[in-house]
Amino acid sequence: MKTTGEWLNEEIGPRLSDQLEMRGIDRRSFIKFAAAITAAMGLPVGMAGRVMAAVEAESARPAVIWLHFQECTGCTESLLRATHPTLETLILDMVSLDYSETLLAAAGHQAEAALHDSMQANDGRFILVVEGSVPTADHGNFCKVAGQTPQQMLHKIAPHAAAAIAIGSCASWGGVQSATPNPTGAVGLAEALKLEGITKADDSALPVITLPGCPASPYNFLSTVLYYLTMRQLPELDGKGRPKFAYGRLIHENCERRPHFDAGRFAKEFGDEGHRKGWCLYKLGCKGPETFANCPAIEFGDVGGNTWPVGIGHPCFGCAEHGVGFHKALHEQADVENVLPPSMYPGVTAEHGGGMKAASAALAGAVVGGAAVYALGAYDRLKGAERAGTEEPGQQD
């Protein structure tokens, strides 16, 4: 009698299309998903076919080792709750999640054996995902897994990875743990690797992609993995290691409240008339004008329209921007990156005039009347000159 694993390998097969069919996801839905995710990555529409082919390829499932350091596990939780469609299924079927303290069924020595086996079988080819900040104070003893500090784990694992993804603000630049006074000395993954002098086994730098957010958008993670599978290279990154397709524009640029900003319509207090009407939240401390992320474009969690902080009436916290989220006061006004609001705006609803006063009317009448008299006189003189110029000699009076 066949085991479950043998039946899956023989009857269902390793291809993602077979897995989707088994779960009731039809081809049309998958095509829509591929087109949407292609657009999210900033690729031309014609690339959707290559994205589909990359996902469906038998060799598409890269090994992933997922480490948890100082964090709340919110990024993993949001990842599992996404449905675009059934994103958690696509993620778990698309990658071979060989190790994760949160999702691994094994525990103790069995979990450590799974980590060792994956590193050995995929040396130099697996993707290292880190969730949570790395403590640098007290030699990293604020966080331990299986008796090892994050630094010890990184020294052992990171040199054998093909690339690393720092998911969430904590792993990207320290997150909430790095807020003043930062007692654990929390830093992001890239800085921790630099401080520890950790490189790949061949002494080259380990590429680190940062996906900040608290929590990070699961679709940015999915798009990054799909980009790697499709293009066989990492996406273009900005100076902070963030994929430009997701973090290349300010939230302020695509915010649905931006027209109110340009028109000078601001909510000044929670619950006031402007707040109820959906006006701009800049004066309530919205950090959208200084935070780079695609939140307005992709929203969050597939639970309906306007389902992100600004959409439901709360200022952006700037969680995806280093030096903003967890560092600036919640309702402190943002430093606008591209266009500063003028110090004075005309009234949002200009009042209509209440009529002329008698003196104003007299003055206006005199001006208009004088202009009319002058115009009529000039007209008569012009016509007279024209008649004089067209008369034959001797015909003039």
Residue with tokens 């939230």: 251
Q: Are 112 and 99 in contact (CB under 8 A)?
A: no
Residue 174 lies in a domain: yes
Instruction: Judge if 107 and 242 occupy the same domain.
Output: yes
- In one-letter notation, the amino acid at residue 81 is R
Per DSSP (E only), the strands in 107-211 are 126-131, 134-135, 161-167, 186-187, 208-211
User: Please, are residues 319 and 212 in contact by the beta-carbon 8 Å criterion?
Assistant: yes
Q: What is the pLDDT of residue 372?
A: 39
Q: Are strands 134-135 and 126-131 parallel, antiparallel or unpaired?
A: unpaired
- Judge if 139 and 281 occupy the same domain: no
Verify that 264 and 335 share a domain, yes or no: yes
What range defines the domain where residue 125 resides? Answer: 61-246
The rounded Cα 137 to chain-centroid distance in angstroms is 31
**92 and 234 in a common domain:** yes
Q: Is the domain of 191 the same as that of 269?
A: no
Clarify whether residues 317 and 222 are in a common domain: no
What is the model's pLDDT at position 106? Answer: 79
87-94 and 218-231 helices cross at what angle (nearest 10)?
40
If asked whether residues 88 and 235 sit together in one domain, one would say yes
Rounded distance, CA 163 to CA 186, Å?
22
Question: Is 351 domain-assigned?
Answer: no
Q: Given this model, what pLDDT does residue 177 score?
A: 93
Residue 185 shares a structural domain with residue 273: no
Element (H, E) at 96: strand 96-100
Domain-located, residue 140: yes
281: CATH: 4.10.480.10
Specify the pLDDT at position 83.
Answer: 59
**In terms of DSSP H, where are the helices of 295-390?**
295-298, 358-390
The burial class, CB within 10 Å (0-12 / 13-18 / 19+), for 89 is: middle
Q: Does a structural domain hold residue 32?
A: no
Three-state SS for 232-269 is CCCCCECCCCCEHHHHCCEHHHHCCCHHHHHHCCECCC
The whole-number pLDDT of residue 311 equals: 87
Final residue of a structural domain among 219, 246, 273: 246
Within a domain: 383: no
Integer Cα distance of 361 and 380 in angstroms: 28
Question: What CATH code is carried by the domain that includes residue 152?
Answer: 3.40.50.700
80 shares its domain with 131: yes
Mind giving me the DSSP string for 325-342? TTTS-TTPPP--SS-PPP
So what's the pLDDT on residue 205? 92
For the chain, 397 residues long, the average pLDDT of each consecutive 10-residue run is 38 51 66 68 68 61 88 85 55 73 83 90 91 94 92 95 94 94 95 95 92 89 80 85 92 90 92 94 94 85 71 92 92 81 47 41 39 44 54 44
Both 114 and 131 in one domain: the answer is yes
* Same domain for 235 and 301: no
Q: Do 207 and 146 share a structural domain?
A: yes
* Residue 366 forms part of a structural domain: no
CA 198 to centroid of chain Cα atoms: 29
* Domain endpoint, select from 343, 370, 386: 343
What is the C-alpha separation between 80 and 87, in angstroms, rounded?
A: 8
Residue that terminates a domain, selected from 246, 270, 305: 246
| Residue 189 belongs to some domain of the structure | yes
Counted domains in the chain: 2
Does the residue 369 lie in any domain?
Answer: no
Q: Which of 231, 229, 237, 184 is nearest to 210 (CA)?
A: 237
What was the pLDDT predicted at 379?
45
Instruction: Give Cα 282 to chain centroid, integer Å.
Output: 19
pLDDT at residue 381, rounded to an integer: 52
Distance CA 322, CA 364 (A): 60
